Chain A
Amino acid sequence: MSVELPADTDAVQTPEEIADLLGDLVIGREEHLNAPGFVIKPDTVVDALRRLRDQAGFDHLSCVTAEEYEDRYESIYHLTSYDDRTQEVSIVVPADKENPVSQSANEVFRTADWHEREAYDLIGIEYDDHPDLRRILLPETWQGHPLGQSYDQDQPQVVPLREHQNPLLEDQKADNDSETMYLNIGPHHPATHGVLHIKTVLDGEQVVDLEPDIGYLHRCEEQMCQNSTYRYQIMPYPDRWDYISAGLLNEWAYARTAEELADIEVPEYAQIIRTMGAELCRMAAHFLALGTFALDIYGDFTALFMYSIRDREKVQNILEELTGQRLMFNYFRLGGVVWDLPEPREEFFEMTRDFLDDLPTALEEYHDMMTSNEILQVRTVDTGVLPPEVAKSYGATGPVARGSGIDYDVRRDDPYGYYENLDWDVVTEDGCDNFSRLLVRMREVEESAKIVEQCIDLLEDWPEDERNIQSNVPRTIKPDDDTEIYKAVEGAKGELGIYIRSDGTEKPGRFKIRSPCFSNLQTLPEMSNGEYVPDAIASLGSLDIVLGEVDR
């Protein structure tokens, strides 16, 4: 190891050091499989999180999980660090059963804003000092909190279709000189990449206020997983979170969490297949991001969009050979993958190699038509600027964070699968603008290709009698009662994490999904305020959100 460590680098924090730092705030201890847990009082959340952020380097609020127990409500703040992903701590905040109120963490981490709104919406915990505690996923007139214990799913609900009000209308009356215009973008709009509604207020052509309104695709993914068994029934659902061909990446998030929870080994050979499949998925997802970005920026439906679909078709063909499906693969199993590479193997390798060989030419085309296109440069360079500190505060990850120069990638920082044995780089760009995020994605495609190529080399030479695709896994998986775990992988859009609390049965007691897009989308107002409308659209495109994952 190098002896010239920077002076301010904190050594690894032991649980005792964290306990000392939090001092008398701690009223109890818990042990989560991934991290030590500290129980604190509901009115000391800000104090505790600020100490951890400023003095122990826990600058990444990855997720907020809320749940209801028989005797209490609980919010768990999963903290980690952008510099060292393996450092994790859970702050557990119990709240009163009768009157569940907890302090908001919004003051320390701005990403807590949406996470706590979601907790309020689905579980029913109220957060003190929260700037804007409203429902976020369900309609504003919804009755009850569906993931709470006393919810009756059969009760009728009434959902209004109203005209939206200009939120700045009140201010306008005070000042007669300026006039603002309210503009609805979505929920049915070609540039919103699905069913996103953006409430925009314009002053002339400039955005003065912008608020993403989500929940138009909230299809109860967490409830579905809580109603399914670990062994087989949950696995098909992850495919449908980030459905832009990123299926295997999502499946891996569940596989990794559940395997760690139930202590299941994965054979090395299966890990290589997983790594290869996952990177192919990443490429397919990034291709679509490029294609739709071009479509958003300069309406390129005829060339670039078609090119990207062409390349996606190639990847999908490979994945179909591998998994039997074009889009919803359901290929991973706990403890491995469902079947081996297709026979004849040589043909599969050749097919994949052909695709990889064509890739440099294809990427050159992309660069010719996108990055060196003057229109695109004018629209993307220095627009939608997201400074790294802001990105961190909002919990941005994936290409969005890496486009802001944050060197953070779960694949490298908290290694899983076969990534640590392969030769590849984490791509970062320092521009912090829409163009950087685009460049990051294009360069990540190259890195993914490098990984796939190495995996194929390994698979080709793998001895025939050692092709073990699944370890021995019991037919029914029942992790111990009250075991909690939060684990993440690097999905196509960023850190995709899953929290599971087992309740001793073969179904999870609480299943919480940390979606990268949910956090990334929160940065949109920061990037767009003061910019022109088309630049706001460009920023949205550069975030590359997928609503299935935002709303879950």
Chain B
Amino acid sequence: MSSDNQQPFVTDSSKVGTETREARLSGQDNRFNSRLREAFGSSPFILTKFDKFMNWVRGSSMFMLQFGIACCSIEMMHTYAVKHDLDRFGAGVPRASPRQADVIIIPGTIVSKFAPRMKRVYDQMPEPKFVIGMGSCTISGGPFQEGYNVVKGAEEVIPVDIHVPGCPPRPEALIYGVAKLQERIANGESSPVTVKPYELEEFGDLERDEIVDQLAQEIDVEDLVMRYNWADSP
């Protein structure tokens, strides 16, 4: 490239003057003018990594699964509705079907009968999917931790990205949790799975022991089961 080039390559777009740009900024075609356009300058292109772009998109438009379990779901409804209005943050479209949802908020206590169903609902969501654990019950079982029927936290069943503590958390707290999750998604961060979750497995695949022998009459070998080892629960 010769040094006497009329139009040197400059990265500062405000110094680039072209006719197109002049025309656009002077208001001949106002439709295309915006603050964003001003910031971008003449170049109609943005250079970014595709992954980064997708992360930004994902974080900015999250479809929540309409999923109520217990007390926290009441505060969750309040978060979606007037006053708190989660939709302001691009995360307030509750979908009734897991197949259309990106995010599942787990609002309440998970008990032994429900955990396999919740796992199934989670499995039905398309990737990439994110999980918000709402309330103390999804952290540890909360006030019901000592119950004979209570799963000690959502992470025993599915991986959780963000925990929002509280019993129940206020709507403001849930919004903060959602915003944090959006930030993390936009940054492409993911959460490690901290415990080995209970899996749905075929009854025939379980290790044979006393309880399995007892139930052999009642459960088909091909039935999906979830086995709770309460003694090993945190």
Give the B-binding residues of A (Cβ under 8 A): 137-143, 146, 151, 153-162, 187-190, 193-195, 215-221, 223-224, 227, 236-237, 240, 243-245, 288, 305-306, 309-310, 312-313, 326-328, 547-548, 551
Q: For A243, what are the chain B residues with a Cβ–Cβ distance below 8 Å?
A: 70-71, 74
B window 189-212: CB within 8 A of A: 200, 203, 206, 209, 211-212
Are B230 and A160 in touch, CB under 8 angstroms?
no
Are B149 and A195 in touch, CB under 8 angstroms?
no
**B86 → A minimal CB distance (Å):** 12
**A443 → B minimal CB distance (Å):** 24
Quick check: is B139 within 8 A (CB to CB) of the other chain? no
Are A224 and B230 in touch, CB under 8 angstroms?
no
Are B203 and A219 in touch, CB under 8 angstroms?
no
Quick check: is B68 within 8 A (CB to CB) of the other chain? yes
Quick check: is B53 within 8 A (CB to CB) of the other chain? no
Are B78 and A236 in touch, CB under 8 angstroms?
no
**B123 → A minimal CB distance (Å):** 11
Are A244 and B143 in touch, CB under 8 angstroms?
no
Are A155 and B211 in touch, CB under 8 angstroms?
yes
Q: Whole-angstrom distance between the alpha carbons of A305 and B223 in the complex?
A: 41
Are B109 and A141 in touch, CB under 8 angstroms?
no
Task: Name the one of A156, A194, A216, A245 contacting B230, with C-beta atoms under 8 angstroms.
Answer: A156
**A102 → B minimal CB distance (Å):** 24
Quick check: is B54 within 8 A (CB to CB) of the other chain? no
23 A–B contact pairs at CB < 8 A? A141-B219, A153-B148, A155-B230, A156-B230, A158-B215, A158-B226, A161-B117, A188-B67, A188-B98, A190-B66, A193-B68, A195-B114, A216-B117, A217-B108, A217-B111, A219-B109, A219-B150, A223-B148, A224-B147, A309-B82, A310-B81, A326-B170, A328-B71
Q: For B75, what are the chain A residues with a Cβ–Cβ distance below 8 Å?
A: 326-327
Are A138 and B66 in touch, CB under 8 angstroms?
no
B window 205-234: CB within 8 A of A: 206, 209, 211-212, 214-215, 218-219, 223-231
Q: Whole-angstrom distance between the alpha carbons of A548 and B96 in the complex?
A: 21
Q: Which of B149, B167, B200, B223: most chain A CB closer than 10 A? A: B149
Task: Name the one of A190, A215, A288 contacting B96, with C-beta atoms under 8 angstroms.
Answer: A190
**B72 → A minimal CB distance (Å):** 9
Q: For B83, what are the chain A residues with a Cβ–Cβ distance below 8 Å?
A: 309-310, 313
16 additional A-B pairs beyond A155-B231, A188-B118, A236-B143, beta carbons within 8 Å, are A154-B231, A156-B229, A160-B203, A195-B68, A217-B70, A217-B109, A218-B111, A218-B149, A223-B146, A223-B147, A224-B143, A224-B144, A224-B146, A244-B74, A306-B81, A309-B78
- Grouping DSSP codes into helix (H, G, I), strand (E, B) and loop, the A interface class, with mixed when no group exceeds half, is loop
Question: What is the count of residue pairs linking A and B with beta-carbon distances less than 8 angstroms?
Answer: 167
Q: For A146, what are the chain B residues with a Cβ–Cβ distance below 8 Å?
A: 148-149
Known contacts A156-B227, A160-B219, A313-B78; A151/B148 CB under 8 A: yes
Are A156 and B211 in touch, CB under 8 angstroms?
yes
Q: For B134, what are the chain A residues with a Cβ–Cβ distance below 8 Å?
A: none
Q: For A139, what are the chain B residues with a Cβ–Cβ distance below 8 Å?
A: 112-113
Known contacts A187-B114, A240-B71; A161/B146 CB under 8 A: no
**B216 → A minimal CB distance (Å):** 10
Q: For B214, what are the chain A residues with a Cβ–Cβ distance below 8 Å?
A: 143
Task: Name the one of A158, A215, A224, A327 contacting B113, with C-beta atoms under 8 angstroms.
Answer: A215
Q: Whole-angstrom distance between the alpha carbons of A140 and B112 in the complex?
A: 11
B window 104-142: CB within 8 A of A: 108-109, 111-121, 137
Q: For B73, what are the chain A residues with a Cβ–Cβ distance below 8 Å?
A: 194
Are A158 and B146 in touch, CB under 8 angstroms?
no
Q: For A153, what are the chain B residues with a Cβ–Cβ distance below 8 Å?
A: 148, 230
Q: Whole-angstrom distance between the alpha carbons of A189 and B146 in the complex?
A: 28
Are A216 and B111 in touch, CB under 8 angstroms?
yes
Quick check: is B69 within 8 A (CB to CB) of the other chain? yes
Are B81 and A548 in touch, CB under 8 angstroms?
no
Q: Whole-angstrom distance between the alpha carbons of A50 and B141 in the complex?
A: 44
Q: Whole-angstrom distance between the alpha carbons of A412 and B229 in the complex?
A: 49
- Give the 3 A-B residue pairs with the shortest CB-CB distance, closest first: A220-B147, A243-B71, A309-B81
Task: Determine the residue in chain A with the shortest Cβ distance to B117.
Answer: A187
Q: Which of B70, B228, B231: most chain A CB closer than 10 A? A: B70
Q: For B177, what are the chain A residues with a Cβ–Cβ distance below 8 Å?
A: none
**B120 → A minimal CB distance (Å):** 6
Quick check: is B25 within 8 A (CB to CB) of the other chain? no
Task: Name the one of A141, A219, A309 contacting B77, with C-beta atoms under 8 angstroms.
Answer: A309
Q: For B117, what are the chain A residues with a Cβ–Cβ distance below 8 Å?
A: 161, 187-188, 195, 216
Q: For A547, what are the chain B residues with a Cβ–Cβ distance below 8 Å?
A: 70
Known contacts A159-B113, A161-B224; A188/B148 CB under 8 A: no
Q: For B121, what are the chain A residues with a Cβ–Cβ distance below 8 Å?
A: 188
Q: Whole-angstrom distance between the alpha carbons of A137 and B73 in the complex?
A: 21
Q: Whole-angstrom distance between the alpha carbons of A363 and B224 in the complex?
A: 50
Are B149 and A548 in touch, CB under 8 angstroms?
no
Q: For B81, what are the chain A residues with a Cβ–Cβ distance below 8 Å?
A: 305-306, 309-310
Q: For B119, what are the chain A residues with a Cβ–Cβ distance below 8 Å?
A: 161
Q: For B96, what are the chain A residues with a Cβ–Cβ distance below 8 Å?
A: 189-190
Known contacts A138-B112, A223-B148, A243-B70; A159/B228 CB under 8 A: yes
Are B70 and A220 in touch, CB under 8 angstroms?
no
**B61 → A minimal CB distance (Å):** 19
Q: Whole-angstrom distance between the alpha carbons of A507 and B149 in the complex?
A: 21
